[in-house]
Amino acid sequence: MNVNDRPAAGRPCGAHTAPAHLYVLGSAPGSPLAVPTRGVPGASGREAGRARDTLMDLEGLSLGPPPASDPPAAVVLAAGMGKRMKSGTPKVLHKVMGRALLAYVLNAVQYLRPGKVLVVVGHRAEEVERALGSPPGLEYVVQAEQLGTGHAVWSARSALDGWKGPVVILPGDAPLVSPQTMLDFLAAHRALGAPLSVLTAELDEPASYGRVVRDPAGWLERIVEYRDADEGTRAIREVNAGVYAADTGALFGALEAVRPQNAQSEYYLTDVVGILRSRGELVSAVTGPDPREIQGVNDRADLARCQETLKLRINEAWLRAGVTFHDPYSTYVEPSVRLERDCVLGPGAVLAGQTRIGEGAVVGPYAVLTDVEIGPGARVAPHATLSGVAVPAGANAGAPRGAGQPAGGGFPGPGGASFRRAAPARRRIV
């Protein structure tokens, strides 16, 4: 859309349904941007929906084929070294709640029903590709030299040659961006009609995020990276979330003009904003519903904060679905775990892998369960450690020896029968 077509404040024009500065995702229930959430049955509300989507398994996700016309493509940036992690493991493969950072991003992307998913790899590319495998629709693009985010997206140009739909760009180290936010953001981009949209957030302490500078009508004028910002610009609280939606031709046309003229001597993707504006185009800034979602991971402290946020998001989803947590702040439940209603989890319990807990079952404090099936009404003793077994309905598991536990390390079932081994867990993608 050209700058001369800008609608007057409060009055849409053309494809627009609202002026750009009014687009705050999740602020208007029932708006045309509302998209049904998916996940664990029984919960309701947008907050619960955002939490429920966290529980989806990437390898089990099936939302149908891409739209028949103009499906989006997704470009996930996963080439960086992550120096501040001080680790030999690629940053995007570090785990929160038992899953790699990159797995959460790819899970959110799948809700867009993309026609193509491109993962840009670079540092230790073979390790990242080995961890992800070859899911349908996923392609790898190699950024041989890590010369900035603009250069990373430029590396995907040939893979998107002739692509008609929008391109959605995400960082591979942002596990908190929810599927619902991605759906709403893409809907906003299509509705606003600008060639580029940027997801933003307002932070009380914006720290080193790039600052969002808007024009008087609310359209995005430029993004200024923290290192290149003066004191006045650093005082701005609205920041770039690092998530973009763009028309393919406009995106790569602008990237051709990007130059590494900044403090980092890198090709910034954010420079595309100023280039499009200089060509008379509008760029929309769409504010996300929850500033916590944009939190990326640069070091181990960020990783710990992300894990705490995800842990509470997952536990809240299960609370709303009818599960009792005696202490949701200390209980650890990985997103691949499944719980039935009326089961009870004691403080400090750890549930990992493909663990399944039946209706009315009780897991004692500080029990550690990995790839375990607990039948309805069964009870797991405090401090029990179980792995790869199935506990029958109504049984007591993990009792100290002398309280019904047979010699040899097995656990008793009804009538003294030993528990069977659970079926092997499915291979997880990262």
Q: Give percent of the chain with pLDDT exceeding 70.
A: 77
For residues 399 and 42, the model is more confident at 399
Q: Apex CA 233: angle with CA 231 and CA 237, to 5°?
A: 110
pLDDT at residue 410, as a whole number: 40
Q: What is the pLDDT of residue 370?
A: 97
Tell me what pLDDT residue 78 has: 96
Q: How many CA atoms lie within 13 A of 120 on its CB side?
A: 30
Apex 421 CA angle, 418 and 423, nearest 5: 150
| CB atoms closer than 10 angstroms to residue 217 | 15
Helix (H, G, I), strand (E, B) or coil at 180: helix
Q: Any idea where the domains of the chain sit in the sequence? A: 3-294, 324-421
Residue 412 has pLDDT above 50, yes or no: no
pLDDT value, residue 51: 43
CA distance 142 to 145: 9
Residue 253 has pLDDT above 90, yes or no: yes
- The yes-or-no verdict on residue 427 having pLDDT over 60 is no
What is the reported pLDDT for 70?
A: 86
Residue 425: band (very low, low, confident or very high) from pLDDT cuts 50, 70, 90? low
Q: What is the pLDDT of residues 207-245, one digit of tens each?
A: 889 999 999 999 999 999 898 899 999 999 999 999 999
- For the cut 80, the answer to whether the pLDDT of residue 159 exceeds it is yes
pTM score, whole prediction: 0.81
- Residues 26-80 pLDDT 10s: 543 333 332 223 333 333 344 444 444 544 443 434 445 566 578 999 999 999 8
> Distance (Å, rounded) from C-alpha 240 to C-alpha 238?
7
Angle subtended by helix axes 179-192 and 101-110, to nearest 10: 50
For the chain, how many helices (H) and strands (E)?
A: 9, 25
The residue-averaged pLDDT of 126-154 equals: 93
Choose from 21-25, 205-209, 357-361 the range with maximum mean pLDDT: 357-361
Over residues 112-119, the mean pLDDT reads 95
Instruction: Give the pLDDT confidence score for residue 57 in this predicted structure.
Output: 42
Provide the residue count of the chain.
Answer: 430
Q: Which fold has domain 3-294?
A: Spore Coat Polysaccharide Biosynthesis Protein SpsA; Chain A (3.90.550)
Q: DSSP class of residue 419?
A: P
Alpha carbon of residue 278 to chain centroid: 33
Are 3-294 and 324-421 the same fold in CATH? no
Question: Which residue matches tokens 């596990």?
Answer: 175
Supply the CATH classification number for the domain 324-421: 2.160.10.10
Rounding to the nearest 10 degrees, give the CA dihedral for residues 226, 231, 233, 236.
90
Percent of the chain topping pLDDT 90: 69
Q: Tens digits of per-residue pLDDT, 319-342?
A: 999 999 999 999 999 999 999 999
Confidence class for position 283, pLDDT limits 50, 70, 90: very high
Helix (H) or strand (E) holding 247: strand 238-247
Confidence class for position 15, pLDDT limits 50, 70, 90: very low
Instruction: Specify the higher pLDDT residue, 97 or 55.
Output: 97
pLDDT above 50 for 137: yes
pLDDT at 423: 60
Q: Is the pLDDT of residue 198 over 70?
A: yes
For residue 20, what pLDDT band results from cuts at 50, 70 and 90? Answer: very low
Is the pLDDT at 279 greater than 90? The verdict is yes
Angle ∠(205,74,120) on CA atoms, nearest 5: 85
CA torsion 274-278-280-281 (nearest 10°) is: -20
Q: What is the pLDDT of residues 306-315, one digit of tens each?
A: 999 999 999 9
